[in-house]
Amino acid sequence: MVLGAAEAAVLAFDVGGTDIKAGLVDAAGQVLGMRRVPTPLDAARPAEAILDRLAELAGELAAEFPDIPARAAGVIVPGIVDSIAGIGIYSANLGWRNFPFTAEAEKRFGVPVAFNHDVRSAAAVEHQFGGSKDFDDVVVMVVGTGIAAAVFSGGEAVTAGGFAGELGHALVPDPDAGQGSNGATILEAVGSAGAIAKRYSAKSGTAVDGARDVLARATSGDELAARIWADAVDALAFTICQCVNIIGTEAVVIGGGLAEAGDDLLEPLRARVNGILDFQRRPLIMQAQLGQDAGLLGAALNARRLLSPAQPTPAQPNSAQPKPLNTATAGSRGGAR
């Protein structure tokens, strides 16, 4: 797929809980005019307010690059997303339910829109270019304030109408459960960077500067910090083992802020997973090469697929993707998603 610059340029929007990232991605995969603005929060019309802001950004980019018209747009959002129907089914943080993103975005932008899930789109970039690219059965986990994931089985993205990959809500044993209660909680409440900081602060009565601070304290001999770090590792290992048992996952890619801990996270995690599994195939556990811009590149790839008639399912990331974007901007390790 070789397109002239004008034909191939697309708008890319990565809508997060805090910020929107926007840019014009040209035929060579270069992100032009990238900007980051606060996500507008409007409880009465949450999705419309965001799309209105995206339309303003599209106008700014059109004014800035008058010679590079965008022929399509990619919009990615968190939550539960039905990319085929073009519906944002649910976002806990941003507040919409069953909003027709594709149709409403196309009205505003005047070009075809590929609407999809943020983490699945970023993960498709990771899965296409990163360390897991030679594997068919892969889970990409983005572990930051919360935990989101994309699941690949047999080389294809598992979407299940948008309901797959909710690993942040997978059940894990609750380390704070009362004695003998066998209580369960969700992975996000123990294994996320957000949970590590929050649990340490709550138990120590000391404010900390994120999971990184808790790790530094653990390394200097703080037993509470070490226990909370180990709880997070246990919870992540527990969920990885569920993936192995249910869908035979052979590679797990960990991105997001917590992955910046590198071997302080990955080494104990591998040891824990290997200690739990028995006859099963041991998954490789690796750090993502996802940069902060992987979402934006994923959104652009989704949009570009709309321009390629050879792709029958334009809005679904999968392993059989067209000619890669230039991933130079996605090469930094440990993005802060």
**Cα–Cα distance, 100 to 113 (Å, whole number):** 12
**Cα–Cα distance, 92 to 82 (Å, whole number):** 15
The reply to whether 280 sits near a second copy by the rule CB under 8 A is: yes
**Cα–Cα distance, 218 to 197 (Å, whole number):** 12
What is the phi-psi region of residue 150: left when phi exceeds 0, alpha when psi lies from -120 to 50, beta otherwise? beta
The reply to whether 169 sits near a second copy by the rule CB under 8 A is: yes
Helix (H, G, I), strand (E, B) or coil at 194: helix
The reply to whether 203 sits near a second copy by the rule CB under 8 A is: no
The reply to whether 131 sits near a second copy by the rule CB under 8 A is: no
265, 258 in Cβ contact below 8 A?
Answer: yes
Q: 35, 54, 29, 32: which is closest to 111 by C-alpha?
A: 54
Mark out the alpha helices in the chain (DSSP H runs): 5-8, 46-64, 101-109, 118-129, 188-191, 193-204, 210-219, 223-247, 263-276, 294-306
The contacts of residue 121 (CB under 8 Å, 6+ apart) are 74, 76, 295, 298, 299, 301, 302, 317
CB of 156 to a second copy, least distance (A): 7
Q: What DSSP state is assigned to residue 28?
A: T
Which of 92, 103, 271, 320 contacts a second copy by CB under 8 A?
A: 92
The reply to whether 163 sits near a second copy by the rule CB under 8 A is: yes
The reply to whether 65 sits near a second copy by the rule CB under 8 A is: no
The reply to whether 95 sits near a second copy by the rule CB under 8 A is: no
Give the range of 60-68, 101-109, 124-132, 178-186 binding a second copy by CB under 8 A: 178-186
Helix (H, G, I), strand (E, B) or coil at 57: helix
The reply to whether 184 sits near a second copy by the rule CB under 8 A is: yes
Query: How many chain residues touch a second copy (CB under 8 A)?
Result: 48
Give the range of 168-176, 216-224, 265-273, 326-334 binding a second copy by CB under 8 A: 168-176
CB of 283 to a second copy, least distance (A): 10
Which of 61, 170, 236, 296 contacts a second copy by CB under 8 A?
A: 170
CB of 2 to a second copy, least distance (A): 31
Which of 90, 112, 210, 308 contacts a second copy by CB under 8 A?
A: 90
The reply to whether 226 sits near a second copy by the rule CB under 8 A is: no
The reply to whether 320 sits near a second copy by the rule CB under 8 A is: no
CB closer to a second copy out of 12 and 237 = 237
**Cα–Cα distance, 75 to 73 (Å, whole number):** 7
CB of 319 to a second copy, least distance (A): 13
Which of 220, 246, 310, 312 contacts a second copy by CB under 8 A?
A: 246
Give the range of 9-17, 68-76, 216-224, 272-280 binding a second copy by CB under 8 A: 272-280
**Cα–Cα distance, 110 to 97 (Å, whole number):** 24
314, 74 in Cβ contact below 8 A?
Answer: no
138, containing H or E segment = strand 138-143
The reply to whether 279 sits near a second copy by the rule CB under 8 A is: yes
Give the range of 40-48, 62-70, 104-112, 172-180 binding a second copy by CB under 8 A: 172-180
173, containing H or E segment = strand 171-173
Q: 287, 293, 185: which is closest to 239 by C-alpha?
A: 185
Q: What DSSP state is assigned to residue 229?
A: H
Instruction: Give the interface with a second copy as residue ranges (CB under 8 A).
Output: 80, 90, 92, 136-137, 151, 153-154, 156, 158-167, 169-171, 173-175, 177-180, 182-184, 238, 241-250, 276, 278-281
